[in-house]
Structure 1
Amino acid sequence: MVHQELLAIGRKAKQAARQLAFASTESKNNALLAMSEALLKNEQEILQANRFDVQAAEEKGIKKSLVNRLRLNLEGITQISKALQEVVALRDPVGEGEVWTRPNGLRIQQTRVPLGVVAMIYEARPNVTVDAAALCLKSGNAVILRGGSEALESNKILGRVIAEAAEESGLPSGCIQLITETNREWVQQLMRLNDYVDVIIPRGGAGLIQTVVQNATVPVIETGTGMCHAFVDRDADYEKAIPIVINAKTQNPGVCNALETLLVDEAIAEDFLRRMGQELQNHHVEIKGCPKTCAIMPYALPAAEEDWVAEHLDLILSVKVVANLGEALDHIYKYSTKHSETIITENYTRAQRFLREIDAAAVYVNASTRFTDGGRFGFGAEIGISTQKLHARGPMGLRELTTIKYVIYGDGQIV
């Protein structure tokens, strides 16, 4: 039996989506600008709520990297506000398409339309509340938000502020709704609310994503889990390789596009790992290594099988020496979550083989995996990074929050 309050949220979202589907770009942009301004006007209230969440998380002993993702400050709120303005500048995908005429005179138009009602189930990062709402509104979708309990107070304020601003700007009531009930039964019911929800997008750790994938009857776009690898080939340029590895691992270790496993060609392993190890130690990175790695880097801890599948989300790096590119490809094939993989090499043939054989949303040559991001790809904000193949793959921006329909113009044709 579905909770009546949840049913009411679903009905309201469905009605809002019906109106949003034909809202003008101007009206959507005006709402986004109002939301941006409202965040700045309410920044002290937002910070107060966030301090409560952070303190509670620290008292629970939540990992420091996750607490850092939860924390907001004035600069962070300004950045979230600015991100809304950047979405305003993005092209509205709704209505885009092409037209062609068939031999019998039928004129067929393929046009982009909103998905309808998008439900976001996500963890600690409060900025996702605003990013998801902004992208859904700009693409003509209503959104139901269900954030993690760790960010509940922050999300309550953020959700109320942006929903009120959007509705005061003329968008339909219910276009942004936040579920504040922390009972997990609500999540189970939301995942099966097929009459009102068109798609669910989970964003967070592997546990959350798999729970949604395994239990939802509503279609799911799987995002996020990032077991990202870097392979340093025997023909790598160390002047490129070392900064790439340091950036991919240490710039922000708590995100899905951070490096988790380093694979090194045994032809250069001893020389490269001695140099690389010093840089990793300088950045306070703990190393979990294979036996060959531990022999070269005596400060490394022995890696267990779980270290090759672990999304550490911390200053921890798994390191393995491999015989060649073929063994690196085999390792990645076995353990990859199909997010982002990179090869560092000056050898064109091996680079092309890596690009051809790796099955992932993003594959790099001589660049950090940290570039797998909607903003860095030029999409503006993103609602997540899809690691599946349908209906979207990689960073998901506005276009990925739409589908297509066909409009056919005839003049009495029956054959």
Structure 2
Amino acid sequence: MRPARLTVLTAVAAVAALTAVTGCAEKSAGGDGTIKVAASDTACELSKTEFPAGKVSIEVENKGSKVTELYVLFPDDRIVAERENIGPGTKATITAEIKAGDYEFACKPGMKGDGIRQKVKATGGAAAKRSPELDAAVAEYRKYVQAQADETLPKAQAFADAVKAGDLEAAKKAYAASRIGWERTEPVAESFGDIDPKVDVREDGLEAGQDPAKDWTGWHRLEKALFADKKIGDDEKKLADQLMTDLTDWQKKVGQAEITPTSMANGAKELLDEVASGKVTGEEERYSHTDLVDFKANVEGAQKAYELLKPVAAKNDPALSAELDKQFAAMNTLLDKYRADKNGYDFTAYDTVGQDQRKELSDAVSALGEPLSKLAATVAK
């Protein structure tokens, strides 16, 4: 999980969201071009507050001194679209599908709080029809995310049972495996209310005013207890039960997610952004050092979305598809160097991976992330 975030939406909007197609601006359907957002430390200025619904391109420029984020939100704060980690003096473009309705744009300087907000309206009627190939991709991806949630529950239950039994070593052994399905499909998982911050927030991701002793729950709270504090007490056993309650909630809701080709493509890019911001740096699994398990799962989830969209992507941009094939293969070959066996998830502890090796991994993420950032615009043609 990334640092603290707003409450998340059902993937209709995630359509729009989970986004970030860097450097790939596109005309919005039926409209007069992109929506330009000038974000600063004190303002969130929009070039327009009303635009045609459909495929929309949002161009964000950070004119402030802090790293910022842009969210497109429903009135109840569910996320429609987002772009995180926009550095000072940089730009980012979001390609998204947004249905007709009222929304808010929120710029979040420092990536904390509720953001500086502006009300907007998307106008128009029914969404444009999709091709049969894209409908098939969405249907298969929906099956995939449900299967990942279904497969996560027994693995998480094994982890929770070990915690509740007070078996420190068994709990530590079960920890990483319990997270694989979540990490493969995290963009969709994040689209349901506050489930993501309940189960996957790090201590430094808590909002101002939250008390780690009371408000920090989920995998990473237990990770710290097991790997850093080396203890299991009554609090940890209660947290294990709460984790299962929250994951069961997620598993039941996955089938309700609104998924589109754009959200799949943007979600794939977001998974690579997760790798770049948390796994390569070693911040995500700072106590267990199982970052490479998460890393691999993120890559697998991104590749699954791409493979399902590939028939259309290859037709619309053969060169991009060829480059994505090449970079996914290179990334998987590199990750295989850190596996104890070819098909398993026993990876090298990340605290033993040197700086030169981390740079090699980071460079591979960048090489894959650049063409992957173009996928949403390509399938939206």
Query: Shorter-chain TM-score category?
Result: under 0.3
TM-score normalised over the length of structure 2: 0.26
Higher Cα Rg, which structure = 1
